Structure 1
Amino acid sequence: MRIALSTIGRFHTFDLARELHARGHELTVFTGYPRFKLRDERLPQSAIRTFPWLHAPCMKLGTRLGYDRAIMRELVHWNLESFGRHVTRNIPECDVYSGLSSSAGDAGRIVKSRGAGYICDRGSSHIRIQDQILSEEHARWGLKYKPIDPRVIAREEREYEEADLITVPSSFAYRSFVDAGVPERKLRLIPYGVDLTRFQKVAEPPTDSFEVLFVGGVNIRKGIPYLLQAFAKLTHRAKRLTIVGGCDPAMLSWLHASGLPLEGVTLTGSVPQPQLKAIMSRAHVMVLPSVEEGLALVQAQALACGCPVIGTHNSGGEDLFTDGEEGYIVPIRDADALAERMQNLADQPWLQQMMGAAALLRVRRIGGWSTYGGRVAALMEDLATHRRRDAGVPIGALAGSEIGSC
């Protein structure tokens, strides 16, 4: 098949691209990342089309200024808009086009007019549900919330409407689309995988301390306040919480002024991905108390390093591991539940070791990114076959079983 993919950054799109390339499909991958940052992606450079002119400065300024400033909202909008126009102008002849939501432009409409299929790849919950949850969460903590740019919402919802199918990575994300009124026949749930060449167990947790780890953006969406509250409730003679991830200056100032407990907590800032496997391997547990997420890749990465995970129903954990076997899944906004599960592992080293071993077995069953790539490839092949056979008939009008429901 001839397949076109687009993503404003990298995300999971490049993992998918490698799987499709390995299966012999002809690829074109559009990205806002500069080419020099993609040299380790193990794809033919001829397949990659870069358009970094706004994305690179947008990422750099966003890290320094925070994304809630008016100037950043404009820059983000025009970053997405210009990238979408670039993809639309240059989309090649293909059998299937899969565009990460918000950055597809009108390319989906173009490929459909040629008889090809269009998949909207959404990595989080429905954008209106996302906006609602984040608004509620900021209100809980007395923080001012700037709603998601209405232009971004409109852009996404046009893509949802135009797409033949919408792929989502977790049951939570799937439910959010149903709650927003999107027909289930248009949705496909395909959980992400993990790159086992980059993540594996390389060390053991220490025996003289209890190491709790968080990896991700340090923000309200990721449930950081609940993590800090839960860690303060944990009793252990030598407990440590390491928070790995970017934190903009405004969030850092709020954390220090909020009164949330920070004793025993270390914020490292962002860490290069090659270093993460050692950090994860040495942790007794990784906690990700997200209130809104598609499916956090760091969960599978931690499991691959033999580190049990405590996630939430909204972090996508339930689609990666089983509650009580490789870790725990708890409700959102529940610091007591987080603390109780951490205490279980701290008080019972054998349980932590058993869950760590189960995590390694679970990840091997997941099969790296191969299972994800195979399911997406099968979906694309069914979609392309149907489009060739019945050009002009909307796929969403058919029952899911007729087009290879995943």
Structure 2
Amino acid sequence: MNMKVTQLAIGRFHHFHLARQLERLGLLEKIYTGFPKFKLRDEQGIPKDKVKTFPWIHTPYMKRGLIGIDYWKWLSEEWEWLDMQVIDKYVAGKINHPTILIALSGNGLHAGKKAKDHNGYFICDRGSSHIRFQDQILREEFSRWGHTFRGIDSRVIEKEEIEYEQSDLITVPSQFVKKTFLDQGIPEEKLAKIPYGARLERFYKVAEPSTKKFKVLWVGSVGIRKGFMYALQAFQNLKHPNKEFVVIGTVEPEMRQLLAGQNLDKVSFLGLVPNAQLPRIYSTAHVFVIPSLEEGLAMVQGEALACGCPVIASVNSGAEDLFEDGKEGFILPIRNPAMITNRLEQFADDPELRQKMSVAAIERVKSIGGWDSYGNGFQETLLSLIQGY
């Protein structure tokens, strides 16, 4: 394949994993990001001259919470829109020859058009559900908990849907996400499902859970979208003499209000922890819970499985593309704390079941092959696109 890939992702997300894979396969031309270079020092495996940063709008936007600007919702919305537009147009100005542009959805309308104008291709990479499904389910969920979701900026929805139409291909990470696109009328032939991998060199089993305590683990944003209240309710209803719920991640503002007055006995909020500590935390947990309302394919699931920690996940987390229900964990419908409690009780009451699933989890993730399988899948997709089959 002669044509190389230009990547555009305003943040990091999974795109630097993809860039490493494309470099391994000899396909990477450049990756553009809104992150500053000093924040990318831990991104190994990509030549420095292929990483192009445009941090002038995105970096201060990400720091807006430190000065309280995030409470001015209208300003955050305008800033986010400007952020996405400027980097898109900036990269469009850099494209002057045939290339395959892989752009994170919402970031690539102008750059994608420019790539196609130069006889290249435009791939819109969507890491979450279809933007209209995402907007609808978040409106519903916030309302269920007595909060108002401002909704996704209508300009962002419009831009993304034009990208869906304009792109040669839309890549998605899970069957759940693919279904939301099909339900919105996107033709199946325009969709390519390529599940994410896990960093096996970083995440692996290093310890055993305690036999004296039953530890439930949460890693990720503590918010309404992730379904944290369902996990908390399930834990509260779990009858166990020595249980613990370890919560790692930033607590979102709406969740702070919902947690006021809740029974948080035996719940430990640790905030953010260094990545180097996560393998031990995953390894010593009996079960990992993630009942998200919508995701692409939550990568923390792969991290937990790689450390031998079985997972209880919602179907909307993309779990079906990572493990099998009843083998390495359990996959449940959304908004069902009673079912989560039931599965927690199974793990607590049957250590042999948990151990069996722990072994199966490690074998499953190893069989997937880490991020190499993701890179190989993308290479096959690129070849199919260029060769027209």
Is residue 212 of structure 2 the alignment partner of residue 221 of structure 1?
Answer: no
Shift, 1:118, TM fit: 1.0
Cross-structure match for 1:392: none
Shift, 1:289, TM fit: 0.5
Is residue 196 of structure 2 the alignment partner of residue 182 of structure 1?
Answer: no
Is residue 75 of structure 2 the alignment partner of residue 71 of structure 1?
Answer: yes
Shift, 1:20, TM fit: 1.1
Structure 1's 104 and 279: CA in aligned 2 closer, same or farther, altered over 3 A?
Answer: same
Aligned-residue sequence identity (percent) comes to: 48
Is residue 288 of structure 2 the alignment partner of residue 286 of structure 1?
Answer: yes
Report SS of the residue matched to 1:99: strand
Residue 323 of structure 2, aligned match among 321, 324, 348: 321
Residue 61 of structure 1, aligned match among 43, 64, 86: 64
Give the partner amino acid of 2:137: I
Instruction: Measure, in 1, the Cα distance between the counterparts of 2:94 and 2:53.
Output: 11
Which moves more between the two structures, 300-309 or 24-33?
Answer: 24-33
CA distances 1:152-184 after superposition (whole Å, capped 9, x unpaired): 111111111110010101111001001111111
Report SS of the residue matched to 1:314: helix
Contact 1:172–1:313 (8 Å) recurs in 2: yes
Which moves more between the two structures, 267-276 or 315-324?
Answer: 267-276
Cross-structure match for 2:31: 29
Give the partner amino acid of 1:322: E
Contact 1:67–1:73 (8 Å) recurs in 2: no
Contact 2:123–2:171 (8 Å) recurs in 1: yes
Instruction: Measure, in 2, the Cα distance between the counterparts of 1:103 and 1:119.
Output: 11
Is residue 78 of structure 2 the alignment partner of residue 52 of structure 1?
Answer: no
Instruction: Measure, in 2, the Cα distance between the counterparts of 1:114 and 1:385.
Output: 18
Give the partner amino acid of 1:290: S
Q: Within 5 Å, which residues of 2 pair with 1:139-288?
A: 139-248=143-252, 250-257=253-260, 259-288=261-290
CA distances 1:130-164 after superposition (whole Å, capped 9, x unpaired): 00000110111111111111111111111111100
Give the partner amino acid of 1:170: S
Instruction: Measure, in 1, the Cα distance between the counterparts of 2:69 and 2:302.
Output: 30
Contact 1:225–1:260 (8 Å) recurs in 2: no
Structure 1's 188 and 4: CA in aligned 2 closer, same or farther, altered over 3 A?
Answer: same
Cross-structure match for 1:295: 297
Structure 1's 342 and 35: CA in aligned 2 closer, same or farther, altered over 3 A?
Answer: same
Shift, 1:384, TM fit: 2.7
Cross-structure match for 1:97: 101
TM-score, L = length of structure 1: 0.92
Report SS of the residue matched to 1:283: coil
Structure 1's 94 and 21: CA in aligned 2 closer, same or farther, altered over 3 A?
Answer: farther
Of structures 1 and 2, the one with the larger relative CO (CA 8 A, separation 6+) is 1
Instruction: Measure, in 2, the Cα distance between the counterparts of 1:223 and 1:295.
Output: 15
Which moves more between the two structures, 124-133 or 25-34?
Answer: 25-34
CA distances 1:249-283 after superposition (whole Å, capped 9, x unpaired): x23531333x4432211111122222211211111
Q: What is the alpha-carbon root mean square deviation over aligned residues?
A: 1.5
Instruction: Measure, in 1, the Cα distance between the counterparts of 2:96 and 2:239.
Output: 59
* Structure 1 gap segments, 5+ residues each: 387-401
Cross-structure match for 2:22: 20
Report SS of the residue matched to 1:214: strand
Report SS of the residue matched to 1:310: strand
Shift, 1:93, TM fit: 2.7
Residue 41 of structure 1, aligned match among 40, 43, 47: 43
TM-score, L = length of structure 2: 0.96
* Structure 2 gap segments, 5+ residues each: none
Structure 1's 115 and 341: CA in aligned 2 closer, same or farther, altered over 3 A?
Answer: same
Which moves more between the two structures, 83-92 or 153-162?
Answer: 83-92
Instruction: Measure, in 2, the Cα distance between the counterparts of 1:128 and 1:62.
Output: 27
Q: How many residues align?
A: 385
